[in-house]
Chain A
Amino acid sequence: MSCRRMSPVSTVSSQLIYDALKACDIRLMSALPETWLVHLVRMAEDDPEMTLVRLAKEEEGVGISAGAHLAGVKSAMLMQNHGFLAAINGIVSCAQLYRIPLLMLISFRGDFGERDPWQTEGGAVTEDLLRALRIPFTYLDRADHVAHRIRKAQTLALSANKPVALLLCRDLMWEEAS
């Protein structure tokens, strides 16, 4: 189901991200939708070349990406940072234990500019958790480096056989003045 009401989520940036993932030969995407990801999920759904797997909980996506990787198919995971929190055991005891590359695109809610009170705790711990888990990460906060950073993140994930993360930031994803 697509979101028909006007949304301040950037379709232009979402398209840039989507095109960059396609350029990296991503053919399977698992997702648990949240506001910032609505366009990306719809693009995946509308793309006959993409297998979109809508999850009940983000940790499932780790298993699905692991299976796809072993079968030779490149995948990406789309989730909110709270979804990343919910997926941590799978990330550690499946992806890290078994050296599975994961390309995780995590919407970085709860950072400066956040107006939803319920997002603020997750935002405050996301980067420290990524560091504690020794997951290399960087930020997607400007249109001009999206394609380059996604490509480099995937290159590292595949050469290291490890999870990597890209934090989708408000300045890229949200068009309304905060």
Chain B
Amino acid sequence: MKRVDALQAIYGQLTDRVVVTIMGAVAAELQSIGHRPNFFYLQHAMGLASSMGLGIALTRPDRQVIVFDGDGSVLMNLGGLTTLARYRPRNLVHVVFDNESLLSVGGFPTATSTGSDLAGIARAAGVPRSAAVRTIDEFTRAFDDALGARDLTTIVAKVEATGPSKYVTDLSLLENRFAFQRYLQEPGI
């Protein structure tokens, strides 16, 4: 499965939800499909996208929050999985695109390439729902289930180690940040 196809397959379900992504291919590919003001791309601070998602989910329990994470980022903040599980925000869906590599810096293999199992780690950390998927069909089903379950879910989607030709987009970091803040604080949203 290609990550961009997985994103495309669920893009329609992102309309009214709060979306936080990591840097690199995930951010560039989601923007290539179409940026929206409810999308925030954490273009650095590897590992902290899930923590940002937790901060939003805890303070806005009325909104469903989706975090698009990656294997390299999760491995940098494994403790964060225990914090997520501990506070169990029922309005957070945590998707980990696992391409078994640090793609944007040259494709060096991560520990998931030698067997570290992030869905198993999430489960063992106490995340109440987790799934490991390998095809678009499995992914969309797991994503639909997670949205419907209204409970903290980690979905680890194995994807090919391919990405866009470039990672810098024409959306500036601060433009994204302030527009996203405005979106989150709009009355009635």
Contact of B56 among A53, A62, A67 (CB under 8 A): A67
Q: How distant is B69 from chain A, measured CB to nearest CB, in Å?
A: 12
Is B45 part of the contact surface with A, judged by Cβ < 8 Å? yes
What 0/1 pattern do residues 41 to 63 of B give for CB contact below 8 A with A?
Answer: 01111011111111111111000
- B162 contacts chain A at the CB level, 8 A cutoff: no
- Docked Cα-Cα span, A28 to B20, in Å, equals 20
Q: Which of A51, A54, A90, A94 makes the CB contact (< 8 A) with B59? A: A51
Task: Please give the number of chain B residues whose Cβ is less than 8 angstroms from any Cβ of chain A in the complex.
Answer: 34
Query: Which of B29-37, B77-85, B145-153 contacts its partner?
Result: B77-85
Question: Does B173 lie within 8 Å of A64, measured CB to CB?
Answer: no
Min Cβ gap A167→B in Å is 24
Interface size on A, residues (CB 8 A): 31
- Stretch of B9-17, B131-139, B176-184 lying at the A interface: B176-184
With A54-B86, A65-B55, A67-B58 given, can you name 14 additional A-B contacts, CB distance below 8 Å? A28-B58, A51-B58, A53-B54, A53-B83, A55-B79, A57-B80, A59-B77, A63-B52, A64-B52, A64-B58, A69-B181, A70-B181, A71-B55, A72-B185
Residues of chain B having any CB pair with chain A under 8 Å = 20, 40, 42-45, 47-60, 77, 79-80, 82-83, 86-87, 173-174, 177, 180-181, 184-185
